[in-house]
Structures are given as structure tokens and as C-alpha cells.
């Protein structure tokens, strides 16, 4: 049995802040919204993919933002380094903190939405490397410099190899 990932649902408190962040910063569009049941909490469906009714949904039922949830983060892949840089530009434009972290197999930005739900946006690198790995990287590098840095930073790590030469069973293969 193969399971395809469909969507993530997050409990939130302030729908105005959340919708502003996800629509304006991450370019999601609202696909539907309404009460889950009569007089129940609102659910808001969002997607970037016109073929997916929703990739994210938010239930407006969270009572306190500061409380710990079991969600660590949700992760979004972008197809190119330029798209990752656009995420950086958007975060910079609203003075939003983020952590640029490289896993050897991906260049990532980690940040939180307005209710402190963790988010990762990443692009793949051409390499595979044993995980876990995590080294801060300079998000002001251009693509060539960033990839040269990744190779130098991870070349001596176990399992470092061009992705197409990896013998691991579960590696992102395009």
C-alpha cells in the first residue's frame, strides 16, 4: 500500500493573522470555508494547487497560542533555488525571523507562522547524505555559491553521494 500525502489541518486562534500570513507571505488561496458543524468552529481550506481542494486547513478552535502542540513543523518543497530566495525576500519584507539550515540534501528556511506553528520551506540539493544533518547556511549566497558550499560542508559526511548514485531505498527521485 502506498499512501500519498494529502493535507495538514492545524488548530488556530486568530484566523485574520493566519490568513494574512499564508495568503500574502506563502501565496496560498482560500478554496472554501465555513462551520464544521452547525454552530461549530470554522474551518478554512487553502491550496496552491488547483488540482487539490486543500493542502492546508485551519480550524479556528485554539484557545491559547502559547500552548505546546504535538506538531513540530509542516514542510513545503519548492522546485528551484530561485523560489527559495523568493520565500526569503517575502520573509525579509515583513521582518520575519527565519533559520537558514542545510541538511546536505536540502537547503531550508525554518520559521513560524503568527501562532508559532513551525514551517520549513526547502529546495533539494543534488546530493544524498545520511541524516540527521543540520548546518546553518548563508541565505545571501547565489545558487552556484550555495551548492559549492553544500558540497564542501558535507563531502566528508557518511553517505554523501550524488542523488542518482545513492543506493538508499527512500531518496527523493525526480
Query: In this predicted model, what pLDDT tens digit does every residue of 120-160 receive, in sequence order?
Result: 999 999 999 888 889 999 999 999 999 999 999 999 998 89
Angle (deg, nearest 10), helices 81-93 and 143-154: 100
Cell of 163: 542523488
pTM for the model stands at 0.81
What is the structure's pLDDT at 109?
96
68 lies in some domain: no
What is the structure's pLDDT at 1?
45
2 lies in some domain: no
Quickly list DSSP for 77-139.
E-SSHHHHHHHHHHHHHTT---EEEE-SSEEEEEEE-TT--EEEEEEE-SEE--S---EE--T
Residues of the chain with pLDDT under 50: 1, 173-174
Dihedral angle, C-alpha 51, 56, 60, 63, nearest 10 °: 170
Verify that 118 and 151 share a domain, yes or no. Answer: yes
27 lies in some domain: yes
17 lies in some domain: yes
Type and span of the H or E element at 162: strand 161-162
- Side-chain-side CA neighbours of 72 within 13 Å: the count stands at 2
Q: Which residues pair with 34 in a beta bridge?
A: 43
Nearest one of 109, 113, 105, 115 to 166, comparing CA atoms? 105
Verify that 22 and 85 share a domain, yes or no. Answer: no
Task: For residue 107, give its domain range.
Answer: 74-163
What is the structure's pLDDT at 136?
97
Verify that 56 and 88 share a domain, yes or no. Answer: no
What is the structure's pLDDT at 68?
63
* Domain harbouring 28, CATH code: 3.10.180.10
Phi/psi zone of residue 34: left (φ > 0), alpha (ψ -120 to 50 degrees), beta? left
Verify that 97 and 120 share a domain, yes or no. Answer: yes
Verify that 111 and 157 share a domain, yes or no. Answer: yes
Verify that 49 and 92 share a domain, yes or no. Answer: no
Domain total in the chain: 2
170 lies in some domain: no
- How far is Cα 103 from Cα 36, in angstroms, rounded to an integer? 39
Residue 24 · residue 114 · CB < 8 Å = no
What is the structure's pLDDT at 132?
86
* Domain harbouring 78, CATH code: 3.10.180
Helix (H, G, I), strand (E, B) or coil at 72: coil
Verify that 95 and 123 share a domain, yes or no. Answer: yes
Amino acid at each position: 500500500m502506498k499512501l500519498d500525502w494529502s493535507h495538514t489541518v492545524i488548530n488556530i486562534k486568530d484566523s485574520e493573522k493566519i490568513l494574512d500570513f499564508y495568503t500574502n507571505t506563502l501565496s496560498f488561496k482560500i478554496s472554501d470555508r465555513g462551520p464544521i458543524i452547525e454552530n461549530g468552529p470554522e474551518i478554512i481550506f487553502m491550496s496552491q494547487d488547483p488540482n487539490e481542494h486543500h493542502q492546508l486547513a485551519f480550524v479556528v478552535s485554539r484557545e491559547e497560542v502559547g500552548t505546546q502542540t504535538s506538531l513540530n513543523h509542516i514542510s513545503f518543497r519548492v522546485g528551484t533555488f530561485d523560489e527559495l530566495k523568493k520565500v526569503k525576500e517575502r520573509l525579509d519584507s515583513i521582518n520575519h525571523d527565519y533559520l537558514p539550515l542545510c541538511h546536505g540534501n536540502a537547503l531550508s528556511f525554518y520559521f513560524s507562522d503568527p501562532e508559532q506553528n513551525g514551517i520549513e520551506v526547502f529546495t533539494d540539493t543534488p546530493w544524498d547524505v545520511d541524516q540527521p544533518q543540520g548546518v546553518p547556511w548563508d541565505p545571501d549566497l547565489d545558487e552556484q555559491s550555495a551548492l559549492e558550499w553544500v558540497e564542501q560542508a558535507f563531502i566528508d559526511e557518511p553517505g554523501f553521494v550524488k542523488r542518482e548514485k545513492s543506493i538508499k531505498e527512500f531518496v527523493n527521485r525526480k
